[in-house]
Amino acid sequence: MNTDALFHQHILDNLYDGVYVVDPDRTIIYWNNGAERITGYGSPEAIGKRCFDNLLIHVDGKGLNLCHTQCPLAQTISDGKLREQELFLHHKDGHRVPILVRVVPLRGPDNRIVGGIEVFSDNTSRLMLRHRIDELERANMLDRLTNLSTRDHVDAQMTSELAKMQRYGWPFGVLFIDIDNFKHINDTYGHEIGDRVLKMVASTLSSNSRPFDTIGRWGGEEFVAILVNVNTAQIYDIADRFRMLVEQSKLFIGPAVVQVTISVGAAVAQPEDSIAGLIDRADKLMYQSKLAGRNRVTMDQEVASP
Protein backbone atom coordinates (compact mmCIF):
# COMPACT_ATOMS: atom_id res chain seq x y z
CA MET A 1 0.00 0.00 0.00
CA ASN A 2 1.48 3.37 -1.02
CA THR A 3 1.86 6.40 1.24
CA ASP A 4 -1.26 8.17 -0.08
CA ALA A 5 -3.39 5.06 0.45
CA LEU A 6 -2.06 4.66 4.01
CA PHE A 7 -2.79 8.31 4.72
CA HIS A 8 -6.38 8.04 3.49
CA GLN A 9 -6.98 4.81 5.40
CA HIS A 10 -5.66 6.48 8.56
CA ILE A 11 -8.22 9.26 8.08
CA LEU A 12 -11.05 6.77 7.56
CA ASP A 13 -9.94 4.61 10.49
CA ASN A 14 -10.16 7.53 12.88
CA LEU A 15 -13.36 9.24 11.75
CA TYR A 16 -15.89 9.78 14.54
CA ASP A 17 -18.62 8.48 12.20
CA GLY A 18 -18.92 4.81 11.38
CA VAL A 19 -17.74 3.77 7.92
CA TYR A 20 -17.88 0.37 6.32
CA VAL A 21 -17.34 -0.87 2.77
CA VAL A 22 -18.99 -3.89 1.14
CA ASP A 23 -18.49 -5.82 -2.09
CA PRO A 24 -21.39 -6.47 -4.51
CA ASP A 25 -22.66 -9.31 -2.28
CA ARG A 26 -22.65 -6.92 0.70
CA THR A 27 -19.75 -8.75 2.34
CA ILE A 28 -17.92 -6.30 4.60
CA ILE A 29 -14.35 -5.65 3.45
CA TYR A 30 -13.57 -2.57 5.56
CA TRP A 31 -14.77 -1.49 9.05
CA ASN A 32 -13.44 1.62 10.80
CA ASN A 33 -13.03 2.55 14.46
CA GLY A 34 -16.15 4.72 14.39
CA ALA A 35 -18.23 1.72 13.30
CA GLU A 36 -16.80 -0.25 16.23
CA ARG A 37 -17.59 2.56 18.68
CA ILE A 38 -21.20 2.99 17.55
CA THR A 39 -22.09 -0.71 17.08
CA GLY A 40 -19.89 -2.47 19.64
CA TYR A 41 -18.62 -4.88 16.95
CA GLY A 42 -14.87 -4.91 16.38
CA SER A 43 -13.29 -5.16 12.95
CA PRO A 44 -12.49 -8.91 13.28
CA GLU A 45 -16.17 -9.58 14.08
CA ALA A 46 -17.44 -7.62 11.08
CA ILE A 47 -15.02 -8.13 8.18
CA GLY A 48 -15.93 -11.13 6.09
CA LYS A 49 -19.56 -11.10 7.19
CA ARG A 50 -22.43 -9.83 5.13
CA CYS A 51 -23.99 -6.78 6.75
CA PHE A 52 -27.35 -8.59 7.03
CA ASP A 53 -25.90 -11.68 8.77
CA ASN A 54 -27.31 -10.92 12.25
CA LEU A 55 -25.01 -7.93 12.54
CA LEU A 56 -26.50 -4.46 12.05
CA ILE A 57 -30.06 -5.63 11.22
CA HIS A 58 -31.29 -2.16 10.23
CA VAL A 59 -34.96 -1.38 10.95
CA ASP A 60 -36.92 1.72 10.06
CA GLY A 61 -39.20 3.82 12.28
CA LYS A 62 -42.02 1.29 11.88
CA GLY A 63 -39.89 -1.69 12.86
CA LEU A 64 -39.51 -3.04 9.31
CA ASN A 65 -36.33 -5.07 8.85
CA LEU A 66 -34.66 -3.52 5.80
CA CYS A 67 -31.86 -6.03 5.34
CA HIS A 68 -33.78 -8.33 3.00
CA THR A 69 -36.31 -5.93 1.49
CA GLN A 70 -35.44 -2.23 1.26
CA CYS A 71 -31.78 -2.02 2.26
CA PRO A 72 -30.47 1.40 1.15
CA LEU A 73 -27.00 -0.06 0.63
CA ALA A 74 -28.32 -2.82 -1.65
CA GLN A 75 -30.41 -0.29 -3.58
CA THR A 76 -27.41 1.98 -4.11
CA ILE A 77 -25.26 -0.92 -5.31
CA SER A 78 -28.06 -1.73 -7.75
CA ASP A 79 -28.82 1.73 -9.17
CA GLY A 80 -25.82 3.89 -8.22
CA LYS A 81 -27.93 6.53 -6.48
CA LEU A 82 -26.82 8.27 -3.27
CA ARG A 83 -29.15 7.76 -0.30
CA GLU A 84 -29.69 9.18 3.18
CA GLN A 85 -32.04 7.70 5.77
CA GLU A 86 -32.73 7.65 9.52
CA LEU A 87 -32.63 4.06 10.79
CA PHE A 88 -32.03 1.99 13.91
CA LEU A 89 -29.15 -0.48 14.06
CA HIS A 90 -28.65 -3.46 16.32
CA HIS A 91 -25.87 -2.88 18.87
CA LYS A 92 -23.72 -5.82 19.99
CA ASP A 93 -25.20 -5.44 23.50
CA GLY A 94 -28.66 -6.00 22.05
CA HIS A 95 -30.26 -2.56 22.13
CA ARG A 96 -31.31 -0.37 19.22
CA VAL A 97 -29.31 2.75 18.35
CA PRO A 98 -30.79 5.57 16.23
CA ILE A 99 -28.48 6.43 13.32
CA LEU A 100 -28.34 8.67 10.29
CA VAL A 101 -27.14 6.63 7.29
CA ARG A 102 -25.52 7.97 4.10
CA VAL A 103 -24.81 5.51 1.29
CA VAL A 104 -22.69 5.98 -1.85
CA PRO A 105 -21.67 3.48 -4.55
CA LEU A 106 -18.11 2.21 -4.75
CA ARG A 107 -16.87 2.37 -8.35
CA GLY A 108 -13.91 0.68 -10.00
CA PRO A 109 -11.44 2.20 -12.49
CA ASP A 110 -13.91 1.59 -15.34
CA ASN A 111 -16.66 3.39 -13.39
CA ARG A 112 -18.61 0.16 -12.85
CA ILE A 113 -20.13 -0.31 -9.39
CA VAL A 114 -18.03 -2.80 -7.41
CA GLY A 115 -19.63 -2.34 -3.98
CA GLY A 116 -20.97 0.29 -1.64
CA ILE A 117 -19.90 2.57 1.20
CA GLU A 118 -22.08 3.33 4.21
CA VAL A 119 -21.31 6.22 6.54
CA PHE A 120 -23.43 6.39 9.67
CA SER A 121 -23.58 8.62 12.73
CA ASP A 122 -25.17 8.18 16.12
CA ASN A 123 -28.42 10.14 16.18
CA THR A 124 -28.64 10.18 19.97
CA SER A 125 -28.05 13.47 21.76
CA ARG A 126 -24.97 12.01 23.38
CA LEU A 127 -23.56 15.14 24.99
CA MET A 128 -26.83 16.03 26.69
CA LEU A 129 -27.33 12.44 27.76
CA ARG A 130 -23.81 12.27 29.20
CA HIS A 131 -24.36 15.51 31.08
CA ARG A 132 -27.59 14.17 32.55
CA ILE A 133 -25.90 10.91 33.59
CA ASP A 134 -23.02 12.81 35.23
CA GLU A 135 -25.47 14.89 37.23
CA LEU A 136 -27.38 11.82 38.38
CA GLU A 137 -24.17 10.03 39.33
CA ARG A 138 -23.08 12.98 41.46
CA ALA A 139 -26.48 12.99 43.19
CA ASN A 140 -26.40 9.19 43.66
CA MET A 141 -29.67 8.94 41.72
CA LEU A 142 -28.53 6.54 39.01
CA ASP A 143 -29.51 2.87 39.02
CA ARG A 144 -26.23 0.94 38.98
CA LEU A 145 -27.38 -1.88 36.71
CA THR A 146 -29.24 0.06 34.01
CA ASN A 147 -27.74 3.59 34.26
CA LEU A 148 -31.30 4.96 34.39
CA SER A 149 -32.76 7.28 37.01
CA THR A 150 -33.63 5.71 40.34
CA ARG A 151 -37.18 5.55 41.67
CA ASP A 152 -36.41 8.45 44.01
CA HIS A 153 -35.29 10.63 41.12
CA VAL A 154 -38.38 9.73 39.08
CA ASP A 155 -40.51 10.72 42.09
CA ALA A 156 -38.70 14.06 42.33
CA GLN A 157 -39.10 14.75 38.60
CA MET A 158 -42.78 13.88 38.73
CA THR A 159 -43.29 16.25 41.66
CA SER A 160 -41.60 19.00 39.65
CA GLU A 161 -43.68 18.34 36.53
CA LEU A 162 -46.94 18.30 38.50
CA ALA A 163 -46.04 21.67 40.03
CA LYS A 164 -45.32 23.11 36.57
CA MET A 165 -48.62 21.79 35.26
CA GLN A 166 -50.59 23.27 38.16
CA ARG A 167 -48.81 26.63 37.85
CA TYR A 168 -48.29 27.03 34.11
CA GLY A 169 -50.54 24.42 32.51
CA TRP A 170 -47.60 22.59 30.93
CA PRO A 171 -48.75 19.08 29.88
CA PHE A 172 -46.90 15.84 30.49
CA GLY A 173 -47.51 12.11 30.46
CA VAL A 174 -46.29 9.06 32.33
CA LEU A 175 -45.50 5.64 30.89
CA PHE A 176 -45.44 2.57 33.11
CA ILE A 177 -43.42 -0.12 31.31
CA ASP A 178 -43.05 -3.78 32.24
CA ILE A 179 -41.01 -6.46 30.45
CA ASP A 180 -43.28 -9.30 29.38
CA ASN A 181 -42.56 -12.81 30.72
CA PHE A 182 -39.32 -11.69 32.36
CA LYS A 183 -39.45 -14.55 34.89
CA HIS A 184 -39.24 -16.96 31.97
CA ILE A 185 -35.99 -15.29 30.86
CA ASN A 186 -34.45 -15.69 34.32
CA ASP A 187 -35.69 -19.28 34.65
CA THR A 188 -34.46 -20.24 31.18
CA TYR A 189 -31.13 -18.42 30.91
CA GLY A 190 -30.26 -17.43 34.48
CA HIS A 191 -30.06 -14.10 36.28
CA GLU A 192 -26.87 -12.96 34.53
CA ILE A 193 -28.65 -13.04 31.17
CA GLY A 194 -31.69 -11.52 32.87
CA ASP A 195 -29.52 -8.57 33.91
CA ARG A 196 -28.25 -8.22 30.35
CA VAL A 197 -31.84 -8.13 29.11
CA LEU A 198 -32.65 -5.41 31.66
CA LYS A 199 -29.67 -3.39 30.43
CA MET A 200 -30.65 -3.98 26.79
CA VAL A 201 -34.18 -2.70 27.38
CA ALA A 202 -32.91 0.24 29.46
CA SER A 203 -30.41 1.21 26.75
CA THR A 204 -33.08 1.01 24.06
CA LEU A 205 -35.38 3.28 26.08
CA SER A 206 -32.70 5.83 27.00
CA SER A 207 -31.00 5.91 23.58
CA ASN A 208 -34.29 6.65 21.88
CA SER A 209 -35.76 9.12 24.37
CA ARG A 210 -35.72 12.87 24.08
CA PRO A 211 -32.99 14.53 26.18
CA PHE A 212 -35.50 16.47 28.30
CA ASP A 213 -37.61 13.42 29.24
CA THR A 214 -36.86 11.17 32.21
CA ILE A 215 -36.51 7.39 32.01
CA GLY A 216 -36.15 5.52 35.30
CA ARG A 217 -36.08 2.02 36.69
CA TRP A 218 -39.06 1.68 39.01
CA GLY A 219 -38.13 -1.74 40.33
CA GLY A 220 -37.33 -5.23 39.06
CA GLU A 221 -38.31 -5.31 35.38
CA GLU A 222 -40.48 -2.18 35.62
CA PHE A 223 -39.60 1.22 34.15
CA VAL A 224 -41.26 4.63 34.24
CA ALA A 225 -40.92 7.39 31.65
CA ILE A 226 -41.93 11.03 32.18
CA LEU A 227 -42.68 12.74 28.87
CA VAL A 228 -42.93 16.54 29.00
CA ASN A 229 -44.59 19.10 26.71
CA VAL A 230 -46.60 16.48 24.85
CA ASN A 231 -50.19 15.96 23.77
CA THR A 232 -52.10 12.68 23.84
CA ALA A 233 -51.08 11.62 20.33
CA GLN A 234 -47.39 12.34 21.02
CA ILE A 235 -47.50 10.32 24.24
CA TYR A 236 -48.92 7.36 22.38
CA ASP A 237 -46.42 7.69 19.50
CA ILE A 238 -43.44 7.76 21.87
CA ALA A 239 -44.79 4.82 23.88
CA ASP A 240 -45.42 2.75 20.77
CA ARG A 241 -41.98 3.65 19.40
CA PHE A 242 -40.42 2.32 22.63
CA ARG A 243 -42.53 -0.84 22.32
CA MET A 244 -41.50 -1.42 18.72
CA LEU A 245 -37.78 -0.81 19.30
CA VAL A 246 -37.66 -3.13 22.33
CA GLU A 247 -39.39 -5.81 20.28
CA GLN A 248 -36.73 -5.35 17.59
CA SER A 249 -33.83 -5.59 20.07
CA LYS A 250 -32.08 -8.92 20.63
CA LEU A 251 -29.21 -10.60 22.44
CA PHE A 252 -27.20 -13.39 20.85
CA ILE A 253 -26.38 -15.98 23.52
CA GLY A 254 -24.40 -18.67 21.73
CA PRO A 255 -26.82 -20.14 19.17
CA ALA A 256 -29.83 -18.68 21.00
CA VAL A 257 -31.46 -15.35 20.23
CA VAL A 258 -33.08 -13.68 23.24
CA GLN A 259 -35.83 -11.14 22.56
CA VAL A 260 -38.44 -9.60 24.82
CA THR A 261 -41.46 -7.35 24.51
CA ILE A 262 -42.93 -4.74 26.82
CA SER A 263 -46.42 -3.84 27.96
CA VAL A 264 -47.01 -0.13 28.44
CA GLY A 265 -49.59 1.93 30.31
CA ALA A 266 -49.74 5.59 29.22
CA ALA A 267 -51.41 8.14 31.48
CA VAL A 268 -51.98 11.81 30.65
CA ALA A 269 -51.30 13.89 33.77
CA GLN A 270 -54.12 16.02 35.18
CA PRO A 271 -53.75 19.07 37.49
CA GLU A 272 -55.57 17.28 40.32
CA ASP A 273 -53.29 14.22 40.15
CA SER A 274 -51.01 13.11 42.95
CA ILE A 275 -47.82 11.17 42.23
CA ALA A 276 -49.29 8.01 43.73
CA GLY A 277 -52.53 8.40 41.79
CA LEU A 278 -50.77 9.07 38.48
CA ILE A 279 -48.44 6.08 38.85
CA ASP A 280 -51.32 3.87 39.95
CA ARG A 281 -53.34 4.86 36.88
CA ALA A 282 -50.42 4.18 34.52
CA ASP A 283 -49.74 0.86 36.30
CA LYS A 284 -53.36 -0.28 35.85
CA LEU A 285 -53.24 0.70 32.18
CA MET A 286 -50.10 -1.38 31.81
CA TYR A 287 -51.95 -4.40 33.24
CA GLN A 288 -54.70 -3.81 30.69
CA SER A 289 -51.99 -4.19 28.03
CA LYS A 290 -50.96 -7.49 29.67
CA LEU A 291 -54.53 -8.77 29.71
CA ALA A 292 -55.01 -7.74 26.07
CA GLY A 293 -52.11 -9.95 24.95
CA ARG A 294 -48.93 -8.05 25.95
CA ASN A 295 -46.58 -6.14 23.63
CA ARG A 296 -48.94 -3.17 23.35
CA VAL A 297 -49.72 0.31 24.65
CA THR A 298 -52.91 1.20 26.54
CA MET A 299 -53.81 4.87 27.11
CA ASP A 300 -56.29 6.48 29.46
CA GLN A 301 -57.44 8.85 26.68
CA GLU A 302 -58.41 8.02 23.14
CA VAL A 303 -55.90 9.12 20.52
CA ALA A 304 -57.58 11.15 17.78
CA SER A 305 -57.09 9.94 14.24
CA PRO A 306 -54.89 12.19 12.06
Q: How far apart are CA 100 and CA 21, in angstroms?
A: 16
How would you classify the pairing of strands 256-258 and 113-122?
Answer: unpaired
Q: How far apart are CA 27 and CA 135, in angstroms?
A: 43
SS3 87: strand
- Active-site positions? 221
Q: How many CA atoms lie within 13 A of 68 on its CB side?
A: 4
CA 184 to chain centre: 23
Residues 6+ apart with CB under 8 A from 286: 176, 177, 178, 263, 264, 265, 298
- What's at 287, amino acid-wise? Y
Angle 134-157-123 from CA coordinates, rounded to 5°: 50
Q: How far apart are CA 274 and CA 269, in angstroms?
A: 9
Residue pair 266/239 in contact by the 8 Å Cβ criterion: yes
Sign of the dihedral defined by the CA atoms of residues 71, 73, 76, 82, in that order: positive
CA 225 to chain centre: 14
SS3 41: coil
SS3 59: strand
